[in-house]
Structure 1
Amino acid sequence: MSWHSVPQDSLRPPPPADPELLPTQAIHDHPEFRAMRRAHRSFGARAATLGVGGYLLYVLLSGFAPGALNQPLAGRMTVGLALGLVQFVVLALVAWRHTVHMRRRVDPVARGLRAQLDRRRAEQPPLPGPRRYRSW
């Protein structure tokens, strides 16, 4: 009988009956984890709206108001070229704010939760898993 002919579910150990033995599930239910996820999602939604919205505005203006974008600003610089260059500034701003947001709001909570998870895993006896074979 080959490894592939055995149903994969029969090779997995049964889940523990006690929910305290599931450290990852306990972390997912932790209020700090939920707050961290909410902060990450809300920032991501705002950043994506700003980045995509600015680019969409630029594309729509270039399609429906080319005359407005062809207005000269200084020398050969036009409104359209300036708005196109502003897209790089917006992208850099979003990336910078994302880094600051992660460093201040998400990373400290994630480090604390990871330490809790590591402590729980260290206290828990290892579960027997399927036999692993060395790769060639």
Structure 2
Amino acid sequence: MSNVARTHSDTYLDVQQSEEFADLRSRFRRFVFPMTGLFLAWYFLYVLLAVFAPEFMSQKVFGNINVGLILGLGQFASTFVITMIYARWADREFDPRADALHDVVEEAHS
């Protein structure tokens, strides 16, 4: 194996084993796993209500708009809200740390 390839792989292993990378992974997981869990719980609640409580879901709220339609549109709205929350979080918390690690790798290869 050439020295260049060995240096590259050593650099990546050093970064992967660094405290900064572990912190980055931990921060990502602490944000993404709970957010995913909340969204899945909300989604399955909607599905379960549709299956087991059709009377509730078909109740008219106003005009031809029923509870099921409102909750279904809420699924779309919550997807956009989660995306916006993630983007703001990533810009503030995740990306600066990831950029710093990227700079470490780039400096090692310069």
**TM-score when scaled to structure 1?**
0.72
Percent of aligned positions that are identical: 28
What number of residue pairs does the alignment pair up? 108
Using the alignment, how far apart are the partners of 1:49 and 1:29 within structure 2? 28
Residue 87 of structure 1 corresponds to which residue in structure 2? 75
- 1:31 counterpart (19, 28, 51): 19
Structure 2 unaligned residues grouped into runs of 5+: none
Using the alignment, how far apart are the partners of 1:110 and 1:25 within structure 2? 16
1:36 and 1:105 in contact (8 A); partners too: no
Aligned residue identity for 1:92: F
| SS of match in other structure, 1:73 | strand
Q: Which has the higher helix share?
A: 2
Structure 1 unaligned residues grouped into runs of 5+: 1-12, 123-136
Q: Does the alignment pair 1:97 with 2:85?
A: yes
Using the alignment, how far apart are the partners of 1:60 and 1:95 within structure 2? 24
Structural RMSD (CA): 2.0
User: 1:54 offset after TM fit, Å?
Assistant: 1.1
Greater Cα radius of gyration, structure 1 or 2: 1
**TM-score when scaled to structure 2?**
0.88
User: 1:46 offset after TM fit, Å?
Assistant: 1.5
